[in-house]
Structure 1
Amino acid sequence: MARAWIYDRTQSSDYVDAVRKAKAKKRRPPARYLVRYYDVAGKLRSEVASNKDKAEARCAELETALRAGSYVDPKSSKVTFTDMAEKWLESRHDLRKSTWWKYRGLLDNHVIPKWGDLPLNAIEREDIAVWVAKLLKSKEDGGSALGPSQARHAFRVLSMVLEWCVPRRIPVNPARGVKLPVRPEAEHVYLSYEQVEALANASAGLRTKYDRPTAGAGINKALILLLAYTGLRWGEAAALRVGRIDLARRRVRVAVTFYEIGGEQLEGLPKTGKRRTVSFPASLVPVLRPLVDGRDKNDLVFTTARGLSLRANNWRVREFNAAVNAAGLAAEGLTPHKLRHTAASLAIAAGADVKVVQQMLGHADASMTLNVYGHLFPDRLDEVADVLDIRRQAALAGMAA
């Protein structure tokens, strides 16, 4: 039994009378055809069709959707994007606070201004593709002047909201399959051991214009060496507590990180949401010991001369950049985050495999590590082939004996 069918309203005297009255008043008569169907709840519904072809097309569409279980109540898909975006964001209690506010900013600045007033069923894939392209255009050309990475982030938020609406409000996500701008490959900076030491030493000798040690001179060297030889993110190192450094076992427990929202410094879980333990070279023990011995386990390891927590922008501008210049490394394009790349490159050169580097850096999975640092791992194809050859020859010799 069909669950959708076409009803010709000329069979109803009420309809015939309505057409006559409309013509007498020179108005457009009501549509002739209705598409009737029973929805998934068994409720009888009807939709108006302006002509028989459209009625037949809608009837076939409804039949297919009802049989496949992909039927969507038309009223549900008419809710605006803004309404659903706000509900989606409110539901994301699983996000880190910094990520939540990042999504909030992308919605307010780029997504809602374009899609906010539209009903969900009016958002088309082609229009999304045009919007993504426009995000990349300069403001002079009517665009948003975003870089490829930011444009991809804005698109991802739009897509996540739409995906959240499937299948109750829309049958499919119209953002699926949209071609995104290619993210430019990040230019990594890998320092040598000598360059790391030069940078660390320069940072320890920084002085103000009044010829006094800078606010971070007392901790800069230890911090830079820890970043360069362990791969900790800057926020993870800045939030490190004395009790999470084990000098005897040469271990650091990475349990929290600092991040900033609206100028306020907050503490939360590391980027992936997982804690980890990393090791550091024995030669760093005497460098770290003065910052650990005799202090309360809850004290921050790295603070300013006044005992305040480090702030990312202040430390980078006033301490790190000054040390880069003093060490003659300005041409390298260094940032504190680039020390993380240095740590990875030094570890790989020392023989660390992918899983070790993944654990060290706190990547979510090994594929991320390979995507970023795969080119640094040595080509061992010949080495493997040589071992296979030796063992094959031994097997052949044994069979011949």
Structure 2
Amino acid sequence: MSSFSDIGKGKYKLFVELGYDNKGKRIRKTKTVNASGVREAQRKLSEFETEVYSKTHIDTKETPFSAFVELWKTNYGYSKIERRTLENYENSLASSIIPYFGSMKMNKIKTLHIVEFFRKEEEAGRATLEMKYFILSNIFRHAKLWGIIETNPMEGIEKPKYKKNERDPYNDKEIETLLERIKMQPTQHQLIIKLAVLGALRRGEVIGLTDDVIDFENNQITVKQTIQYTKRDGLYMKGTKKEDTRTITIPEFLMRELEDYYKERLEFKEKMANLWEGFKDQDGNKLFMLFSNEYGKPYTPNAVTRFWHRFLDRTDLRRIAFHDLRHSAVSYALRHGVNIKVIQKRLGHKNITTTLNTYAHVTDDDDKEVSDILNNMFGHQDDTKTK
């Protein structure tokens, strides 16, 4: 992990961590530089990282695992891995992977070491084993590509089986109850929940809505972006790939509510005048976020989760995750005969197999409905025989 600190008078101290030596002592390189501000200090830190890691790279046989992880992040992770994914990787690295492998030399780590690591992780009941498998596979694959190691110890490791959580979305009656209960909530919260349960939008997709993606006349929303958050970057807008962009039709009553709310927000922005900060995308373009605070800044994803849980705490509704509102919308559509291909398009799944695998569950209500249909179709035959 690399960092810097402001030591005053335009000077910054840079720190680059290189793991630990054989005695468990931290290996750290430091440098003091002049910088006009945080942005320039960050740039000089990146340059210092490259300088340090290029020198470390010379002694490949003695590279500790923790030092190589920093090398891997600098030369691959920061540029090739999506930012939120990389943050999840860094959390897993810090919580269990580096504490286990950190001081070990890369060329000394064998397949058995990794087998034992996963065995201990499983025995301890730790989660995200599949993610840790992908992290280690990526790290050791690049270690071999870059000449740090001759053989990849991950080649003999089986991928841990992913334990899929069973989801239990709201049924028809619960959805009706939800839509009644939220009438006492702030308008923003009402609309965010309705877009999730009636539009099958993800959390980041809802709070990523801007005025230019909404077609009030045709009751349509184009889903092409999402709000993300990482500790390193804060809030940022992530655009979807062209092939992942989708346009969905929203119920007319909900679109009218959105339109009224949008007009109110425009008026509020005018009243705020210079106090309205707004939000910019990665290219510096100003965006008008549909759901934002009083200064035009969008909600964070965790803020949505918090207000959803607070809402559930005050109601008699069954507790489910906010993301399960999306599943509730799809389950409702399936129960009412909507074609699976239509659902695939609405969800934005590239492959219909993903849709089928996700929603292949059968609820007790679904099973009873099948039984009732069969009884109505064939039950009269037994009545005829008994007469």
Interval of TM-score (by shorter of Structure 1 and Structure 2) = 0.5 to 0.7
Q: Which residue of 1 aligns with 2:247?
A: 277
Counting only pairs closer than 5 Å after superposition, residues 184-199 of structure 1 correspond to structure 2 as 184-199=163-178
CA shift digits 1:83-116 (9 cap, x unpaired)? 4322222223132222222222222332222223
Cα drift, residue 244 of structure 1: 1.3
Q: Give the distance between the partners of 2:330 and 2:336, measured in 1 at CA.
A: 10
Q: Which residue of 145, 155, 174 maps to 2:153?
A: 174
Aligned: 1:251 with 2:220: yes
Question: Which runs of 5 or more residues in structure 2 are unaligned?
Answer: 1-58, 267-285, 368-387
Q: Percent identity?
A: 23
Q: Which residue of 74, 77, 95 maps to 1:109?
A: 95
Q: 1:279 to 1:177 in 2, by over 3 A?
A: farther
Which of these two proteins has the greater Rg computed from alpha carbons?
A: 1
Q: Give the distance between the partners of 2:130 and 2:187, measured in 1 at CA.
A: 41
CA shift digits 1:162-185 (9 cap, x unpaired)? 112335444543223424543333
Q: Which residue of 2 aligns with 1:262?
A: 231
SS of 1:335's equivalent? coil
Q: Give the distance between the partners of 2:155 and 2:252, measured in 1 at CA.
A: 50
Q: Give the distance between the partners of 1:172 and 1:349, measured in 2 at CA.
A: 52
Counterpart code for 2:138 = M
SS of 1:195's equivalent? helix
CA contact (8 A) 2:246 2:345 kept: yes
342-351 or 219-228, larger mean C-alpha shift: 342-351
Q: Which residue of 2 aligns with 1:323?
A: 311
Instruction: Give the alignment's TM-score, normalised by structure 2.
Output: 0.63
Aligned: 1:89 with 2:73: yes
Cα drift, residue 355 of structure 1: 4.3
Cα drift, residue 337 of structure 1: 0.9
SS of 2:228's equivalent? strand
Aligned: 1:200 with 2:200: no
Q: Give the distance between the partners of 1:265 and 1:367, measured in 2 at CA.
A: 34
Q: 1:199 to 1:323 in 2, by over 3 A?
A: farther
Q: 1:263 to 1:338 in 2, by over 3 A?
A: farther
Aligned: 1:146 with 2:116: no
Q: Give the distance between the partners of 1:94 and 1:354, measured in 2 at CA.
A: 34
Q: Which residue of 1 aligns with 2:33?
A: none
Q: Which residue of 2 aligns with 1:160?
A: 138
CA shift digits 1:115-166 (9 cap, x unpaired)? 233333322222211101212344xxxxxx522xx22212221111111233
Aligned: 1:313 with 2:293: no
Cα drift, residue 77 of structure 1: 5.7
CA shift digits 1:178-233 (9 cap, x unpaired)? 24543333121222344223223322314xxxxxxxxxx12222221110122211
Q: Give the distance between the partners of 1:99 and 1:124, measured in 2 at CA.
A: 27
Q: Give the distance between the partners of 1:373 and 1:342, measured in 2 at CA.
A: 10
Q: Which has the higher strand share?
A: 2
Counterpart code for 1:185 = K
Aligned: 1:241 with 2:216: no
Q: Give the distance between the partners of 2:71 and 2:240, measured in 1 at CA.
A: 24
CA contact (8 A) 2:200 2:326 kept: yes
Q: 1:166 to 1:353 in 2, by over 3 A?
A: farther
SS of 2:359's equivalent? helix
CA shift digits 1:260-300 (9 cap, x unpaired)? 32397412326889433222223322222212347659422
Counterpart code for 1:321 = H
114-123 or 89-98, larger mean C-alpha shift: 114-123
Q: Which residue of 2 aligns with 1:286?
A: 256
CA contact (8 A) 2:133 2:160 kept: no
SS of 2:154's equivalent? coil
Counterpart code for 1:176 = E
Q: Give the distance between the partners of 1:355 and 1:270, measured in 2 at CA.
A: 24
SS of 1:191's equivalent? coil
Q: Give the distance between the partners of 2:204 and 2:248, measured in 1 at CA.
A: 15
Q: 1:305 to 1:324 in 2, by over 3 A?
A: farther
Instruction: Give the alignment's TM-score, normalised by structure 1.
Output: 0.61
CA contact (8 A) 2:169 2:320 kept: no
SS of 1:259's equivalent? strand
Q: Give the distance between the partners of 1:305 and 1:205, measured in 2 at CA.
A: 20
Question: Which runs of 5 or more residues in structure 1 are unaligned?
Answer: 1-74, 139-144, 207-216, 380-401
SS of 2:361's equivalent? helix
SS of 1:232's equivalent? coil
CA contact (8 A) 2:63 2:106 kept: yes
Q: Give the distance between the partners of 2:105 and 2:113, measured in 1 at CA.
A: 14
